[in-house]
Structures are given as structure tokens and as C-alpha cells.
Structure 1
Amino acid sequence: MNISEKNFSKIVNGFLVLLAIAMIFRKPCTLLIILFAVFNLFFIKKFSYSRQSLILIALIASPLLLEIIMFWNNDSFAKGLKSLEKYSSLLIFPVFILGNYERIQFLKTLRLYSIATTVILLFFFIRFIIYYPELVDKYLNGNDLWEMGYEFSNSIGIHAPALNMHLAFVSICSLFFVFEAFRLPEKWVLKIASSIVFVLSFFFVLFVNTRMALLNALIGFSLVFFGEVIRKYNFKKVVGTLAILMVVLGGVLFFFVQNNPYMKEKYSSVTFAYMDKVGKLDEIEHPEAKVFNSLVTRVSIWKSGWELAQENLLFGVGASDGKPELVKYFKETNQHFLAKYEFPTHNQFLDFLIKFGILGPLVVLIYIFTISYLGFSLKNALIISFFVLFFTSNLTDDFLLRFDGIAFSGLWFSIFASYWLQQKISVDKVQQGL
């Protein structure tokens, strides 16, 4: 099959943009991953690998490799295969993206991704208002505001913390492109459009309203500001930009909190309520209503998970048996609330410790901190922000168990690695020229 280099490059980058946008829709994204793999197999001769790229492929695929190495420890062959299948994108993405690393358009992909995702969320937000007027009326009247973000996410077909992890990264990227737009003289249309996209993206982070995503968005904003603005602007422009940014963020935040009084409660009393009941949640009257999403519930899960992990520190209980064994432990220790709702670990390091023993959390650390190495090596605020986002999200959740966390991180990890290879090769060529 013949295709020009220019068209091939366009198709590869088009796939990456579509995959990034579709990541919040599991079935369409799965189909796109298959199509992406098939397309690349037809042009396997176009791929180019270096020693560094092969090492990066192994690092990105490390959770999959761990599953393969520890496959013998599963009690069920079929369930073990099902668990293994979830990580297939961690081989597809690095092999095919890093094989095309010279063709990857890093900033263009990020720009199109952030704009398109924000527009799609705006569509679903309008759809939510039209098709769920009873919920909208209830929230406008201040009733059951704790469920608002979850109901909106459910209307799209994704879990709220997962959706907001995506949206936090979109919002961070959008702010980066606002600063980029203001560096260009007389591009007022671009400046206004970029600002609107950023405000909308931050509003959606607030609307879905998960704590870690909001915290990570604010950290990401700071990293982008200090990493991109302070390094590239003079002092007056830095101060002026900071003032405008604070006014915009403060205005959006004030507007939202004023219309969502539950937010004050959620980030104070609800989060830290009943901390004296760790491991004793059944002593709380109606725990479903009072502590379902509170810190005390996660700490109770972590306590049980750690106790279970200590019994299987060397090899763990098996990839397919982690959650069943944890739920079984809830029942054995008479924690009926946790057993009833079959809570997962809500901590990726602890989850892999239970499943794979001491090797598990080590692989998670290598996987996530390689992203930080790429970011700090390039001094790139967006990549560092992604590292902070994914690292902290996996401290309070377990996104390497879910498609929207596995594929999300695998895709961007591969794109970041491609950009790192591009920059490294450019530096090496300059040094050789000298």
C-alpha cells in the first residue's frame, strides 16, 4: 500500500487527536485503538526505533509485563486473561507511537484535544440541561448537590473522578494555550477564543466537582504559570498576567461556590468527618448518606487492604483476585458497609501490592515517575502537570485498573516520550555539528 509521507503523518496525528478526545467514551475509543493498530500494521516498514525508544516502550508497557510475569498466580485462567486484556493498549500505544516518534506533532495534538474536548463537554452540558430538567431544577434549588457531578458524568457514561481527571488536564492545557496566544501580537481572535475555552474547561472541572481533580488543576495552573510565563516574560508582564489569571479564576470560583453552597461543606466538614471511625464505619448511622465519599471510608479501605497485603507480601493474591479477596476480607472482619458496596482499594500502589506483592507498587512507581523524568528533562510544565495529576490521582484512586486510566496514561505517556525523543535527537545533532 502506497501513501505519501505527508499524508501518512497527517493520518497518524489525526488518530492521536481522535484517540485523546474519545478517551472518555470507552467503546468508541476501543474501536479507534483497534483501527489505529491495524492501520499501523500495514505500514510497519515506516517505523523507526532507537535504543532509547525501546527502553521507553518497555517502561510504558511495564504494568502489562508485570501481568504477564505474574499470570501464574491467578486462580482463574479466564479471569486472568480478562485482566491482562485491559492493559493491551500499553503495548499498542508505545509500539506504534514511538515507532512514529519523528512524525508526532506534540503541541498541535494538545491544542486540538483541549479545544475539541471542551466543545464536546459543552454539548453534553447543554444536553444535560435539556434532557434532565428535573435534576437541574433540584440542583438550582440547592437539593442533593453532592450528586450533581456524578449524575452529569453518568449521563455521559463515565465515572466522575475519571472524567474530572481528563478535564483537569484539558483545563491545564487550555491555560497553556492562553499564554501562547497572548505571546502573539494582534491575534485578538485567538486570544479571546483561547480564553473562552479555558474558562469553560475550568467551569466543567468545578461542575463535576471532585476534590483531587480541582486540586490538581490548580497545581497545574501554577506549574504552567511559573514554567511558561515567568521564564518567557518580563516582570511587568508577569505581574499583569498573574493579576488577570487570579481575577478570572477567582471570578469563576466565586460564581460557582455562591451557586453551590454544598462545595464549602464538601471541602471542609464532609471530607474529614468521622475520622474517629476508621475501620468502624458500621457504627455510623446511615453511612451511605454520611461517609460514602469521605476520607474516613478510603482510610478504612486502605487499612483493610494493608492488612490483607501483609499476608501475601511476596507474590500477592493474583491480578484477577485482588478485589474479590479484599471484599472477602471486609466480610471476615465484619465491615458490612464496605462489603455491601464492594469498594476497590482507591489506591493504585496498595492495589498492586495486594495483587502482585512487593513488585507491584515498584512497577507503579517506575511507570508514573518515568513521566516525571520526561517532564523535568524537557523542563515542560504540561508533562510535569500530567505527572502530578496522575500520581496524586492514584494515591486516592486506582486508575491503572480502569480503561479510562490505563489508556489515558498510556496514550499521553507515549506522546510525551515521542516528544522527548524528538528533542533529544535535535540536541544530539547540534552537539555532533559542534
Structure 2
Amino acid sequence: MNISEKNFNKILHVFLCLIAVAMIFRKPCSLLIILFAAFNLIFLKKLNYSKTSLILIACIASPVLLELLMFWNNDSFAKGLKAIEKSTSLLIFPLFIIGNYQRVNFFKIAKTYAIVTTLIMLFFFLRFLIIYPELMNKYLNGIDLWEMGYQFADSIGIHAPALNMHLAFVSVCALYFIFESFRNQEKTIVKMARFIVFLLSFFFVLFVNTRMALINVLIGFLIVFFFEIRSKFNTKKIAITAAAVLVLLGGITFFFVQKNPYMKEKYSSVTFAYMDKVGKLDEIDHPEIKVFNSLVTRVSIWKSAWELSVKNLPFGVGASDGKPELNKYYKATNQQFLAKYEFPTHNQFLDFLLKFGILGPFVVFLYIFTIGYLGYDLKNAMILSFFLIFFTSNLTDDFLLRFDGIAFSGLWFSIFGSYWLQQKITLDKVPAVV
């Protein structure tokens, strides 16, 4: 089939933008990934690889390659295949995105992603106001404030921490492009539109209100500020923009804390309550009410996962058997609360240690820290912020178990890798158009 280079590039970017935006909707995104793979298979001759790009592809695909390597350790052939199926995007994305690395426009994709995702969140927020007015009334009256973000995420069909991981990156991208609009001396109306997108994106991070995402987005903002301030561009304009953004962020945060006093409690006493009950959660009266999302529950899970992992070294229990074996261990150690709710490991390093043994944590480290290396080498605030968001999210959760973590990281890792290859390999060093 013949197609012009211009049309091929357009279709490639439409696919990448659509997949990025649809990432919070599993079924539509899965269909888009299948169509994206089919499209690239039709034009297989356009793919181009080098030794460097193949090494990068191996890093991105390392989690699924580990699953294939350790497939023999699964108790169930069918369940082992199912575990691999969830990770196939870690092969599809690097093969077809890195294979087209010279055609990928990182900044254009990131800009489209930030704007469209924010508009989609605005639509679902307005929908939430209309369909669930009773929940908003409870929120405005200070009743059950802890549940609001989770209810909103559930109305979209995604887990709140996963949604807020996406929104944190969206907000960082939106802030980055505010500075870019001043750097490129765009029209005032464009600058105002970027401010509005940024404020809305940060509003949604606060509304969903998960701890790691809020901390990460604020640190991400600091990374963007740091890189902009140390750049060669007009320091006065950067300072004015930064001051305006900080005032607006402070105002929005103050408004939320006033309307949601539970935030003070959540980020202090609730998080660190009952730390003397690690491994003994059943001694707490109604633990599902008092410590369901507290640090003590996470630490109790980590303790059990570590103990079970040590017993199953050097090869682990198998990719399909991690959660069932952990649930059995909860019961064997008489931890009824953890057994009742069948908590997963909530730490990606421990999860892979449990499943794959000694190799597991090394693969997670390679996968995540290669993203950090790309950001550091490119001195790019968005990539470094993504690394921070994904790394810390996987310290308190296990996003390489979930589609919204696997595909999310695999897509952006491949896009970041393409941009890195453009800078390191392509002879044409003209900066990408933003």
C-alpha cells in the first residue's frame, strides 16, 4: 500500500495523541493500540532500528521479557498467558514508536495530550455535578470528604490513584507550555488559554485528592521552575510568570483546604496513625474505617510481601501467582483484615521480587530509572517529572500490574526515547517545533 510520508506522519501522530488521551479509558485505548499495531504492520518497511534503539526497546520491554523468561514458574498456563497479555503494549509501543523515532514530535504530542485530557476531565466534572448532585452537596457541606475523589474517579471507570497519576503529569505538561508560550512570544489569548488549561488541570488533581499525586505534582512544578529559571531565556519574564502561577496555585490550594478541612487531617494524623500496629491491624477497632488507606496498612502489606518473597527466593512464586500466594500468606499469619480485602503488594519492587525473585526488582529499577536517565540527559523537565511521578507512585502502589500503568508508562517511555534518539543520533540538530 502506498502512502505519502506526510500522510503517514499525520496518521502516526493522530494515533499517538488518541492513545495518550484515551489512556484513562481501558477498552477504547486497547482498541486503539490494536489498530495502531495493525497500521504499523501494514507499513512495516518504514520502521528503522539502530543498535542504540534496540537497546532502548529492550529496556522498555524488559518487564514483559522477564515474564516470558520466567513463564515456566507459573502454576497455571492460562493465567500465565493472561499476565503476559496485559503487558503486550510494552512490546507494541517501543517496536512501532521507536521504530519511527525520527517522525515522533514529542512536544506536539505532549501539548495535545495536556489540552485534550484537561477538556475531557472538565466534561466529566460537569457530568458529575449533574448526575451526582447529592455527592457535591455532601462535599460542600463537609460530609464524607474523603470519598469524593474516589467517587469521581469511579464515575469515569478508573481507580483514583491511577487517574491522579495521569492528571499530575498533565498538570506538569500544562505548566511547561505556559513558559513555552512566553518563550515563543505567543499571542496574549494563547497565553491566557494555557493558564486556564493549567489551572483546570491542577484543580482536578486537588479534586481527586490522592496523596502521592499531589506531592508529586508540586515537586514537578518545582522541577519546571528550576529548569526555566536556569535557562538562557528572559529571567524577568520567567520570574513574573512563576510568581503569577504561585499566587494562583496558592489561591486554589487555600480554597480547597477551606472547603475540605479533611485534607489537613488526611495528610497528617490519618496517614501516620497506628504505626505501632504494623502486622497487627486486627487489633484496631474497625480497621477498614480507621486505617484502610493509612501508611500502617501499606507497611503491613510490605512486611508480609517481603517475608513471603524471602521464602521463595531465588525465582519467586510466578507472575500469575503473586496475589493468590500473598492472600494465602495473610491467612496463614492470621491477618484477617488484609485477607478479607485481598490487598496487593502496593509496591512494584516488592511485587516483582515476590513474582520473579532476585531478577524482579532489578528489572523494575532498569525500567523506571532509564526514564530518569533520559530526562537527566536531555535536561527536560517534563521527562524528569514523569520519572518522579511514576517512580514514587510505584513505591506505594504497583502500576506495572495495571493497564493504566503499563500502557501509560510504555507509551510515554517510547515517546521520550524517540525524542532522545532524535537528539543523539539524527544529524539534523534543529530543535523540534513546539
TM-score by length of 1: 0.97
Equivalent residue number for residue 218 of structure 2:
218
Q: Which secondary structure state, in structure 1, belongs to the residue aligned with residue 142 of structure 2?
A: coil
Equivalent residue number for residue 189 of structure 2:
189
Q: What code does the residue aligned with 1:32 have? A: L
Equivalent residue number for residue 373 of structure 1:
373
Q: Tell me if 1:146 matches 2:143.
A: no
CA 1:428/1:376 → structure 2, altered by over 3 Å: closer, same or farther? farther
CA distance in 1: counterparts of 2:333 and 2:198, whole angstroms = 48
- 1:203-214 matches, within 5 Å, as 203-214=203-214
Instruction: Identify unmatched segments of 5+ residues in structure 2.
Output: none
Q: Which secondary structure state, in structure 2, belongs to the residue aligned with residue 152 of structure 1?
A: helix
Q: What code does the residue aligned with 1:285 have? A: D
* Deviation (angstroms), 1:428: 8.3
Equivalent residue number for residue 363 of structure 1:
363
* Deviation (angstroms), 1:237: 3.2
Q: What code does the residue aligned with 2:251 have? A: G
Q: Which secondary structure state, in structure 1, belongs to the residue aligned with residue 81 of structure 2?
A: helix
* Deviation (angstroms), 1:217: 0.3
- The answer as to whether partners of 1:179 and 1:229 remain within 8 angstroms in 2 is no
Summarize deviations over 1:306-339 as a string: whole Å, max 9, x none.
1101101200000000000001000001100000
- The answer as to whether partners of 2:60 and 2:413 remain within 8 angstroms in 1 is yes
- The answer as to whether partners of 1:178 and 1:191 remain within 8 angstroms in 2 is yes
Equivalent residue number for residue 263 of structure 1:
263
* Deviation (angstroms), 1:186: 5.7
Equivalent residue number for residue 35 of structure 1:
35
Q: Tell me if 1:14 matches 2:14.
A: yes
- 1:269-280 matches, within 5 Å, as 269-280=269-280
Could you tell me the percent identity over the aligned residues? 75
- The answer as to whether partners of 2:179 and 2:238 remain within 8 angstroms in 1 is no
CA distance in 2: counterparts of 1:9 and 1:209, whole angstroms = 38
* Deviation (angstroms), 1:232: 3.2
Summarize deviations over 1:208-236 as a string: whole Å, max 9, x none.
00000011101110111111233133443
TM-score by length of 2: 0.97
Q: Which secondary structure state, in structure 2, belongs to the residue aligned with residue 232 of structure 1?
A: coil
Q: What code does the residue aligned with 2:330 have? A: F
Equivalent residue number for residue 168 of structure 1:
168
Summarize deviations over 1:236-271 as a string: whole Å, max 9, x none.
334323321210110110111111111111001100
Larger deviation: 54-63 or 420-429? 420-429
CA distance in 2: counterparts of 1:48 and 1:147, whole angstroms = 48
- 1:113-128 matches, within 5 Å, as 113-128=113-128
Equivalent residue number for residue 416 of structure 2:
416
- The answer as to whether partners of 2:228 and 2:238 remain within 8 angstroms in 1 is no
Q: Which secondary structure state, in structure 2, belongs to the residue aligned with residue 285 of structure 1?
A: coil
* Deviation (angstroms), 1:51: 0.8
* Deviation (angstroms), 1:183: 2.0
Instruction: Identify unmatched segments of 5+ residues in structure 1.
Output: none
- The answer as to whether partners of 2:318 and 2:356 remain within 8 angstroms in 1 is yes
* Deviation (angstroms), 1:425: 2.0
CA distance in 2: counterparts of 1:203 and 1:149, whole angstroms = 12
Equivalent residue number for residue 392 of structure 1:
392
* Deviation (angstroms), 1:141: 1.2
Q: What code does the residue aligned with 1:128 have? A: F
Q: What code does the residue aligned with 1:158 have? A: I
- The answer as to whether partners of 2:229 and 2:235 remain within 8 angstroms in 1 is no
